[in-house]
């Protein structure tokens, strides 16, 4: 089974991760995310994605979670730049539709999982069910759940469902990498103010985002609990400092490249029968005028 590439930002598997100790600013020297480094990363990812598609065995699932204005969209855009668009799919998960509420909470993400050979990106994900819903448990009232609600057990139960599904997917060839883009509260404030000040960013401003900011500590507690319970060697979380966007993008790209390089992707090799066919086809083509 796939094993998490190591990184300074890997969330440990033993439950010892603390949001309060996770850095929101770069923790390594140098900024290898400029100019030729960035172009080289793009080229590597492009090649790895082609071999992934040709091999048609593994699929890759990239999950992005973050507070508002952490830079999920721009990171996805930057990291996937240069990758064949037919080889990847991006899905954004917002408030569930009535069709989605007619199913269990894993349904809407499950039907959008990447097929073999593809990279699937989740911009928000099933994790919202133990993040925004945990912070606002009144949302459970819309979810048509049967029987009595038990707020003491429901989050652990949901986290167990998510973790077990990830283990199942990993056993069956999905490489899962999960990124929590860890923006500081101060930097979020700066970015919200920039959205108010800059006419080109006004469209991004949502008053609701400022209300959610008021629940910051509850969100951090929910993240800590979800990340600790679901960061595993086959489905690791990385808590990436998000206050410096170019640095964040470079770290995310680097982890994806390391992961894809570690699974031994290679172009399918022709069998002896294929080679005999090739020889016959070559002879036919050569004789043809």
Residues of the shown chain interacting with ligand ATP in the complex, contacts defined by CB under 6 A: 68, 73, 92-96, 124, 128-129, 132-133, 139, 206
Looking at beta carbons only, is 50 or 213 nearer to ligand ATP? Answer: 213
Looking at beta carbons only, is 52 or 62 nearer to ligand ATP? Answer: 62
Residues facing residue 61 across a β-bridge: 120, 176
* Residue with smallest beta-carbon separation from ligand ATP: 128
Helices (runs of H) and strands (runs of E) counted in the chain: 11, 5
Smallest distance, Å, CB 97 to ligand ATP?
10
CA dihedral 177, 17, 230, 57 (to 10 degrees): 20
Smallest distance, Å, CB 96 to ligand ATP?
5
Looking at beta carbons only, is 95 or 275 nearer to ligand ATP? Answer: 95
Tokens at 276, concatenated: 């005999």
Smallest distance, Å, CB 111 to ligand ATP?
14
Q: How far is CA 242 from CA 72, 151, 183, 268, in A?
A: 10, 32, 5, 38
Residues facing residue 176 across a β-bridge: 61
Smallest distance, Å, CB 254 to ligand ATP?
24
For residues 156 and 240, give the distance between their C-alpha atoms in angstroms, rounded to a whole number. 25
Looking at beta carbons only, is 13 or 219 nearer to ligand ATP? Answer: 219
Smallest distance, Å, CB 230 to ligand ATP?
16
Q: How far is CA 110 from CA 49, 98, 107, 214, in A?
A: 22, 17, 5, 31
Looking at beta carbons only, is 133 or 229 nearer to ligand ATP? Answer: 133
């Amino acid at each position: 089974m796939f094993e998490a590439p190591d990184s300074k930002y890997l969330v440990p598997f033993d439950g010892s991760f603390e949001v309060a100790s996770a850095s929101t600013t770069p923790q390594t020297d140098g900024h290898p995310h400029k100019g030729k480094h960035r172009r080289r990363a793009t080229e590597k990812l492009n090649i790895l994605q082609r071999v992934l598609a040709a091999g048609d065995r593994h699929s890759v699932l990239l999950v992005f979670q973050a507070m508002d204005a952490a830079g999920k969209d721009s990171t996805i855009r930057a990291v996937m730049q240069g990758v064949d668009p037919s080889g990847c799919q991006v899905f954004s998960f917002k408030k569930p539709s009535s069709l989605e509420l007619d199913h269990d909470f894993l349904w809407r993400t499950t039907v959008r999982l990447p097929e073999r050979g593809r990279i699937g990106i989740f911009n928000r994900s099933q994790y919202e069910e133990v993040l925004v819903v945990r912070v606002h448990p009144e949302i459970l009232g819309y979810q048509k759940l049967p029987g009595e609600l038990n707020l003491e057990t429901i989050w652990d139960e949901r986290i167990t469902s998510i973790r077990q599904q990830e283990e199942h997917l990993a056993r069956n060839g999905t490489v899962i990498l999960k990124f929590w883009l860890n923006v500081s509260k101060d930097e979020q404030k700066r970015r919200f103010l920039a959205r108010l000040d800059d006419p080109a960013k006004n469209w991004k401003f949502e008053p609701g985002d400022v209300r959610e900011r008021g629940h910051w500590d509850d969100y951090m507690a929910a993240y800590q609990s979800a990340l600790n319970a679901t960061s595993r060697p086959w489905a690791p979380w990385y808590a990436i400092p998000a206050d410096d966007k170019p640095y964040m993008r470079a770290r995310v790209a680097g982890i994806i490249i390391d992961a894809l390089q570690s699974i031994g992707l290679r172009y399918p090799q022709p069998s002896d029968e294929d080679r005999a066919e090739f020889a016959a086809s070559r002879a036919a083509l050569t004789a043809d005028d």
